Structure 1
């Protein structure tokens, strides 16, 4: 894994914490949240203030996420908004924290100049001992304050100021005036420098969770469902229309199609389908060559073509089917009918433009794990898990590729693969080459 760390592909963009003042602020917040402190002279934190070094020190990788249910956070700087979120148990946690920091950036900048801000993503569930408990998670409220309670004191002071202004005898209330003076010593002049943090509430119907081996919950769709990474039988009865696992490839394809959650890459607006599919073929080729012990040093286009010719019939079915689809996309071949139970099927689609695009692309990455670029972008925990078991040749190729081709322009790569972050609302007119797909359906043969 050191190769990935050195290239910035693992634990990248973490925020360094080295000054004694920041470490003391962190410790005050950590002690309030967990009763623990760190003795480390320096460490790094993610978006939520989680530190892998402190997790090792405490031998507790959930020290800011007890029961994996209500994520706690420590903010030392607003720069944390650009950091990744490590050890995430729910897909919505990162977006909630980022939105909170961006919405309150001015206030947080002022507060973190003198203290740490700590808080929690609260919901009504305190443990998830069974899959059924996940369906009780609907509203998530973010609460936050400094270690010395500046926000709470400011809110209390504001109420007393209103009381002082509105009650006729407040001028003679020595107790009220004394309380206001005491609070003002802690908060400063809140009439000139207001202290207020929005505590937003989020509703999340569709999400991914790491619990129970990995589950994708879709409730806010026409046909509700759960897709489980592990065997669906272990989940019991769930309050959804369909329960599937990764072995139900036909069922997943039908579920995604019925809910209009995916689109074929070859018809996606703005996508260079041939280039995307060729790159997927390269990843499949590298996987096959590395598994067979072939030398893939260099990995340029000429070397990969030589490997493809040499392996020939030993190449997996995914490679040949994608090759047929590339020929069709470039106008020189027949339309290939790729059924949903074919190994290549989920390599040919991407999430359609909608609010839950990220978790759909994450699910597709689970179903097409040889596409290492999509796996790294959409599902880093699974990428790191699989990386550990790859041959050294593949590890080297993938790390070099991601450093050279993805790290240089992350936003551009994501836009090219998955479309713009904020897709246009207008439906595009289908080009002439989509007529055949319109006739047979965008999925070809999706088996029931």
Structure 2
């Protein structure tokens, strides 16, 4: 994994913590949340304050996420909002944390100037023992304060001030005035520098969870469904219309199409989208070559043609289906019909524009794992799991490709693969293309 770490493809964009003051603040917050401390003097944290170095030190990668259910967080700086979320058990957690930091950025900036802010993403369950428990999670509430409870004390001082200004005899209440003075010593001038975090509740709609080997919960749909990566998980009596499994991908394909969650990548002969299809073909060919023990090295276009010819009889079905699409789009070949039963189907579509775009692209990447670039962009945990099983030659090639081809222009690559950022307007009518509605 060090190939990825050195190129910033793993543990990248974490926030460095090395000043004694910040380390001390982190330890106070950690003690407050979980009753533990770190002996490390330097480490890095993600958006939630989780540190992989501390996780390794404590022998617990879930030290801020007990039972993988109610994520706790430690904010040392608002700069954490751009960091990734490591060991995420729910796909919605990072978006909630980032939104919360941005909503309260001014207040958090003031608070973290003197102390860490500790909090938790609260839902209605404290552990997940069955699939049914997932459907008990409907809302996520964010609860946060400093270890010294500056926010709670500011609220108390505000109530005292309201009473002092509103009650006629409050001037003679020595106890009230003494309490106000003591609170003001700790909170400062709350009129000039208000210390109040906005309460916010987030709806838990469609999401992915790592629990039970990976589950996509699509309940805000005309026909709610769950999609299981591992079919052996018990799934009786769930409040959905369909329970789908990765072992029957054609049923997933039909569901996604009928719910209008996907659209074809190629709808016309276009040089840009044709290049995307060609790269997907190359990724599949590379995976086959690596499985056959081929040393990849620095491959030229001629090398790619050689690999495709050498291992033509070993190419998987998705390669041949995708090749039909490429021939039609680039060379005027026969109009292809890619059915839901064809493994190439998931390589020929992308998520429709809408609020669930990232989640559906994550699912599509999971179902087209030979496209390592999309897997890395959309589902990093699945990418890392696959990466560990690859040959050294393929690890070298993929790490170099991602660092040199993707990392240099992330926004441009994402726009090319997935389209512009979605808005909330209704999608345009879909056009027919090289795919099959069935």
* TM-score past 0.5 threshold: yes
2:266 maps to 266
CA positional deviation for 1:445: 5.0
1:107 maps to 107
Is 1:85–2:110 an aligned residue pair? no
Aligned pairs for 1:50-129 (under 5 A) are: 50-129=50-129
Separation in 1 of the partners of 2:351 and 2:377?
Answer: 14
2:292 maps to 292
Aligned pairs for 1:107-256 (under 5 A) are: 107-231=107-231, 234-256=234-256
2:355–2:422 contact (8 Å) kept in structure 1:
no
Separation in 2 of the partners of 1:177 and 1:271?
Answer: 75
Separation in 2 of the partners of 1:46 and 1:380?
Answer: 15
Give the secondary structure class of the aligned counterpart of 1:202: strand
> Superposition RMSD on alpha carbons, in Å?
1.8
2:354–2:424 contact (8 Å) kept in structure 1:
no
Separation in 2 of the partners of 1:420 and 1:271?
Answer: 18
Aligned pairs for 1:291-330 (under 5 A) are: 291-330=291-330
Separation in 1 of the partners of 2:61 and 2:276?
Answer: 37
CA positional deviation for 1:130: 1.0
Q: Measured at CA, do residues 331 and 165 of structure 1 come closer, stay the same or move farther in structure 2, by a change above 3 Å?
A: farther
CA positional deviation for 1:267: 3.0
Deviations 1:128-187 (A, max 9, x none): 111101100001011111111111111111111111111111111111111111110000
2:281 maps to 281
Give the secondary structure class of the aligned counterpart of 1:121: strand
CA positional deviation for 1:300: 2.5
Separation in 1 of the partners of 2:61 and 2:311?
Answer: 43
1:382 maps to 382
1:282–1:304 contact (8 Å) kept in structure 2:
yes
Separation in 2 of the partners of 1:424 and 1:70?
Answer: 29
2:270–2:329 contact (8 Å) kept in structure 1:
no
2:41 maps to 41
Deviations 1:254-282 (A, max 9, x none): 11112111111113999932111111111
Give the secondary structure class of the aligned counterpart of 1:243: strand
Q: Measured at CA, do residues 256 and 201 of structure 1 come closer, stay the same or move farther in structure 2, by a change above 3 Å?
A: same
Q: Measured at CA, do residues 306 and 8 of structure 1 come closer, stay the same or move farther in structure 2, by a change above 3 Å?
A: same
Q: Measured at CA, do residues 102 and 269 of structure 1 come closer, stay the same or move farther in structure 2, by a change above 3 Å?
A: farther
Q: Which runs of 5+ in 1 are unaligned?
A: none
2:131–2:234 contact (8 Å) kept in structure 1:
no
1:120–1:142 contact (8 Å) kept in structure 2:
yes
1:410 maps to 410
2:349 maps to 349
1:257 maps to 257
Separation in 2 of the partners of 1:156 and 1:233?
Answer: 49
CA positional deviation for 1:296: 1.9
Q: Measured at CA, do residues 166 and 69 of structure 1 come closer, stay the same or move farther in structure 2, by a change above 3 Å?
A: same
Count of residue pairs brought into register by the alignment: 438
1:2 maps to 2
Give the secondary structure class of the aligned counterpart of 1:344: helix
Give the secondary structure class of the aligned counterpart of 1:408: helix
1:422 maps to 422
2:257–2:437 contact (8 Å) kept in structure 1:
no
CA positional deviation for 1:426: 6.0
Higher mean alpha-carbon deviation, 266-275 vs 327-336, is at 266-275
Higher mean alpha-carbon deviation, 297-306 vs 364-373, is at 297-306
Q: Which runs of 5+ in 2 are unaligned?
A: none
Separation in 2 of the partners of 1:224 and 1:143?
Answer: 30
CA positional deviation for 1:336: 0.9
1:232–1:245 contact (8 Å) kept in structure 2:
no
1:223–1:258 contact (8 Å) kept in structure 2:
no
CA positional deviation for 1:390: 0.7
CA positional deviation for 1:292: 1.0
Higher mean alpha-carbon deviation, 180-189 vs 331-340, is at 331-340
2:357–2:422 contact (8 Å) kept in structure 1:
no
CA positional deviation for 1:423: 3.8
TM-score, normalised via structure 1 length = 0.94
CA positional deviation for 1:331: 5.5
Give the secondary structure class of the aligned counterpart of 1:120: strand
CA positional deviation for 1:313: 2.4
1:50–1:73 contact (8 Å) kept in structure 2:
yes
TM-score, normalised via structure 2 length = 0.96
Give the secondary structure class of the aligned counterpart of 2:408: coil
1:270–1:419 contact (8 Å) kept in structure 2:
no
